[in-house]
Amino acid sequence: MLGRRVAITGMGVIAPCGVGVDAFFDGLCSPAPVGPRTLDDFDPAPWFDNAKAARRADRFSQFAVVAAEEALSQAGELDADPARRGTFIGTGVGGLQTLESQIEVRLERGERRVSPFLVPMMMANAAAATLSMRFGWQGPCENTVTACAAGTHAIGNAARMIADGRCDAVLAGGSEAPFTATAVAGFANMTALSNSGVSRPFDLDRDGFVMAEGAAVLVLEEWDRARARGATIVGEVLGSASTADAHHITAPAPGGTGAINCMRLALDDAGLTADDIVHINAHGTSTDKNDAAEAAAVAKVFGIPGPAITSTKGVTGHALGGAGALEAVAVLLAMRERLIPPTAGHETPDPEIPALDLVVGEPRPWTPGPALSNSFGFGGHNGTLVLGPG
């Protein structure tokens, strides 16, 4: 990435397989559950001053607060000017739960009973705004809404703010709370969801994705400032890229042409070649066309068998706009633990998919090196991060 180096000094996660980065990694290396990945026992109260403050934040904003608090706690005391601290949080659907619940209020009780907090709670930038106000970060406060690529794009966009010299620190990630009756019905009726409730990335018997909720946030800092204050650097954003398939509103381009371009541009941005990449955290949603297109793209860029590849969605399910941020943390934790989590749910190789070096069964020991994290979203959005160890 041209310009200043971008260090990662904090990570925070809230996900059904684990709240907090340590529990999250343990979950990634454990057997996968069956069915939707929801945080059924989540109580936002401990992270807010009072119950009223919690009620005035949509669930996706609540998740972002939890993840950001952990990330900042890990990063330690920052010394950047608040005007040079930015916030960049991606989402796919924003405050959908608030929107649907208030539509029900209007239909059942009338327009005058609709909450005046509907708009500030449902808007897609609400999570970014909440974090900015909560921590007093006065630099750019933005969000990316690029479907399932949003978390990845948000981290890439945030890293460029630091590389370009606009910010010295940025909170970056993604958050999603998509479980409403209408949303689930919509995804089901377009046959995107798994009928079995099992996520099987790249498997012959994959039958759709398993929807999830959750959030992940990173603290990004200018490298030299992070070193100077004695921060523990857990990783580095080496490069990123964003492309569009320009093909179809939901289906990937045949052969993964948009993904191919995205991965190659990300490598160029990082100043690396395909031979430098040791590991790929795949988008790997467990849908027929996505997995086939991504596998073809990886084979085209990296050859066969290529780098060690995993899809953590076998455990996490698919958190839509939060997925890319969760997977970026998964890569960083794989580097920290020197173990690549397996692709849970994968049992039967698909003979129509290239024979990639898919990590299955047990976590695989590795020597950490440059790694990719891929995200591809409805609308033809492609995003790739290149991450390196700290």
Residues serving a catalytic function are 148, 283, 318
100 Cβ neighbours under 8 A, 6+ residues apart: 180, 181, 182, 183
Q: In sequence order, what DSSP letters do the residues of 327-342 get, joined into one string?
A: HHHHHHHHHHHTEEPP
Q: Which residues contact 84 (CB under 8 A, 6 or more apart)?
A: 139, 166, 167, 168, 169
Residue located via tokens 């890229």: 241
Which is nearest to 253 in space by CA: 214, 299, 289?
A: 289
Q: What angle do CA 71, 74, 179 make, to 5 degrees?
A: 25
Cβ atoms 123, 61 nearer than 8 A = no
Nearest to 128 by CA among 72, 89, 74: 89
The two three-digit tokens of residue 197, written as one number: 């409730």
Which neighbouring-strand residues pair with 174? 90, 216
- Asked whether the CA dihedral 106, 108, 110, 112 is positive or negative, the reply is negative
